[in-house]
Amino acid sequence: MSANSPQSDSALLKGREQQTFSQYMRSWILRVRSGDLGQLPVILGLIVIWIVFQIANPIFLSSFNLVNLLVQASVIITIAYGVVVILLLGEIDLSMGYTAGMSAVIIAVLLRAPLEIPGITPEGGLTIAWYVAIAAGLAVAVLIGVIQGFFVTFFRLPSFIVTLAGQLALSGLVLMTVKGLGTLSMRDPVIRGSVNTFLSPERGVVFAIVTTLAFLGIQIIGYRSRVKAGLNTAPPAVIAIQTMAVGFVVSGLVWVANLSRGVPVSFVLLLIMLVVLTYLTTGTRFGRYLFAVGGNKEAARRAGIRVERIRLYGFMLGSLMAGIGGVFLVARLGSVATDTGSGPMLLNSIAAAVIGGTSLFGGSGKMSSALLGGLVIASVDSGLGLAGLPSDAKFILTAGILLLAVIVDSFARRSAARSGR
């Protein structure tokens, strides 16, 4: 039988038939039973955490505290976006905390006072604009990613060792830059406004409508592209239900936020970054290569993918997100010191990505996992803070949630392997 016979054409067209709603639901239940849990555990976990802390303290789900929670989570979630990129490659970056700290320090130093370089700058010094300072901070972050990615790809060194050395070197550079200057204040109103500005109630409503329509538009584009490629996709009824769910959640968030100060601008920026990174990782060739390299590096190499180049780009993108996290960090703190970038920020960011459902073994995960995992981390921190528990209790409980997430991921992978997925 030839490849173009009526029988083969009929079989091909049959394979391109889209699933009905009932077929999709049966397929989804089968995937869950076989271990493909997706983000179901973190969503259920977040609901349980919110119920428990609300019972313990009625203030927890108040509009004021929820707005605070969204603002506090901005740094961790932004860095966690970068962590997801690195984990998709099957690598790790232990320097992201200090990469964020270095960007924050660069911004604070440039905005500290008119820059004076004898013979180069005009008399009285050169005042640096906020956007130039941010560009310089992000450029340094990308340069850190290039250097570390070069050592990992060119010398084939373990990313754990390279980024551990990078962490130590960056901690020294932060100390060297800030040492002798004390605590550097950063009072630029534009940068501070990125975390201290809130949408008016009217703009909050517009934000909810735009977000829901944007989600629907992305789903329609994805649906059409998959149908055009002859791939199975979610039926229109499922897309409609998902859009209504997103609209309900966003509208509820805006309503709650408007009872207090409104939706934080930093949260709007987080969602914009989520959309851009989701498109980059799922709708572009670079994103497909990222998953392929993380899933099986040797198979990706044999398929003609330039593995080392993709890994280098991945480290650059991860460091860029850490640099943006540094912008939020200095905007929120309003100052930098010799220990900027240290503390639990890195570990919380890695924990957020893993708790959200990104696999530690590479090739599996979504950018939205950083957002959900970051909300879990921030919720635990806020809930235990309201309960008056000390930091040690927060670390122990966060460690327990992280361990539980890794156990769920491990069981899911074993179950998927047994079912042949």
Looking at per-residue pLDDT, the higher value among 57 and 7 belongs to: 57
pLDDT, tens digit, 9 for 90 and up, residues 133-150: 999 999 999 999 999 999
pLDDT, tens digit, 9 for 90 and up, residues 234-284: 788 888 998 999 899 899 989 999 998 899 999 999 999 998 998 888 878
Looking at per-residue pLDDT, the higher value among 386 and 165 belongs to: 165
Task: Please count the residues of the chain.
Answer: 421
State how far Cα 254 lies from the chain centre: 21
Say what the pLDDT of residue 3 is. Answer: 43
Say what the pLDDT of residue 120 is. Answer: 67
The pLDDT confidence band at residue 377, using thresholds 50, 70 and 90, is: confident
Average pLDDT for 387-394: 76
Share of the chain above pLDDT 70, in %: 89
Query: Which residue blocks in 283-306 are alpha helix, DSSP H?
Result: 285-295, 297-302
Say what the pLDDT of residue 118 is. Answer: 65
pLDDT of 69 strictly over 80: yes
List CB contacts of 177: < 8 A, sequence separation 6 or more: 105, 106, 109
Looking at per-residue pLDDT, the higher value among 213 and 12 belongs to: 213
Say what the pLDDT of residue 158 is. Answer: 93
> In whole angstroms, what is the distance from residue 10 CA to residue 177 CA?
69
Report DSSP letters for 314-360, one per residue. Answer: HHHHHHHHHHHHHHHHHHHHSEE-TTTT-TTHHHHHHHHHHHTT--T
The pLDDT confidence band at residue 421, using thresholds 50, 70 and 90, is: low
CA dihedral (12, 289, 367, 157) positive or negative: positive
Say what the pLDDT of residue 415 is. Answer: 67
Say what the pLDDT of residue 418 is. Answer: 67
Looking at per-residue pLDDT, the higher value among 362 and 257 belongs to: 257
pLDDT, tens digit, 9 for 90 and up, residues 106-133: 999 888 877 666 666 666 667 788 999 9
> In whole angstroms, what is the distance from residue 77 CA to residue 257 CA?
19
Say what the pLDDT of residue 19 is. Answer: 74
Average pLDDT for 82-90: 94
pLDDT, tens digit, 9 for 90 and up, residues 28-56: 787 777 767 677 778 888 888 889 888 88
pLDDT of 156 strictly over 80: yes
Say what the pLDDT of residue 117 is. Answer: 65
Q: What does the DSSP 8-state code read for residue 155?
A: S
pLDDT of 392 strictly over 80: no
pLDDT of 394 strictly over 60: yes
Residue 186 token pair = 């950063």
pLDDT of 194 strictly over 80: yes
* Alpha carbon distances (Å) from 311 to 84, 86, 390: 13, 8, 40
pLDDT of 60 strictly over 80: yes
Say what the pLDDT of residue 206 is. Answer: 93
Which of 28-42, 239-253, 293-307, 314-328 shows the lowest per-residue confidence on average (mean pLDDT)? 28-42
* Alpha carbon distances (Å) from 53 to 56, 69, 104, 255, 306: 5, 13, 33, 21, 48
pLDDT of 295 strictly over 70: yes
Say what the pLDDT of residue 9 is. Answer: 47
Residue 176 token pair = 């060297």
The pLDDT confidence band at residue 233, using thresholds 50, 70 and 90, is: confident
36 φ, ψ to 5°?
-85, 80
pLDDT of 77 strictly over 90: yes
Say what the pLDDT of residue 42 is. Answer: 81
Average pLDDT for 382-391: 81
Looking at per-residue pLDDT, the higher value among 401 and 91 belongs to: 91
Average pLDDT for 341-368: 85
Average pLDDT for 203-228: 85
Say what the pLDDT of residue 1 is. Answer: 40
